[in-house]
Amino acid sequence: MRMKTDARVCSFCHKSENAVAQLFGAPGDYSPRAYICNECISVCNRAVTQERPSSPPVLALRSALANRFFMLVKSWLDLESQGEDTSEILMELKTMARELIAEDTADREAD
């Protein structure tokens, strides 16, 4: 049978307070009480502050077709919110989406 211990440990890496430089606890009115150590804070800080890639994940978003596509999406949303028939715009959006996907695929294959 395991005995319950009052030793505080990091809720993320499970190191005891004796194994780390600092252990920070959540406010006392939260239950169960959570703790995070300085080492896990450093890991989280590095993850949050990592530089993002400079190029967008979808290359086609830089194209003129993408700009037209987003303007059409805005029109579609405006018309739909007014209760208007949006079936023609939806057909055009589907066509443009296929073109954007094809453009992106071609760009990726060229790289």
Residue-wise pLDDT tens digits, 19-35 = 999 998 877 776 677 88
Taking the model in full, what pTM does it have?
0.41
Q: Are residues 63 and 94 in the same domain?
A: yes
Considering only the C-alpha atoms of the chain, give the largest distance between any 2 of them, rounded to a whole number of Å.
69
- Whether residue 97 is found in the same domain as residue 65: yes
CB 52 within 8 A of CB 29: no
Query: What domain range is 105 assigned to?
Result: 59-110
The amino acid at residue 4 is K
Given a cut of 50, whether residue 1 has pLDDT beyond it is no
Identify whether residues 35 and 70 lie together within a single domain. Answer: no
Query: Is 7 found in the same domain as 39?
Result: yes
What's the mean pLDDT in 56-80?
Answer: 71
Residue 24 burial (CB count, 10 A)? 12
66 shares a domain with 45: no
Q: Which residues contact 41 (CB under 8 A, 6 or more apart)?
A: 24
Q: What local confidence, expressed as pLDDT, does residue 60 receive?
A: 47
User: Is 104 within 8 Å of 58 (Cβ atoms)?
Assistant: yes
- pLDDT greater than 70 at residue 4: no
Q: Is residue 59 very low, low, confident or very high in pLDDT (cuts 50, 70, 90)?
A: very low
Domain count, the chain: 2
Rg (CA), the chain: 26
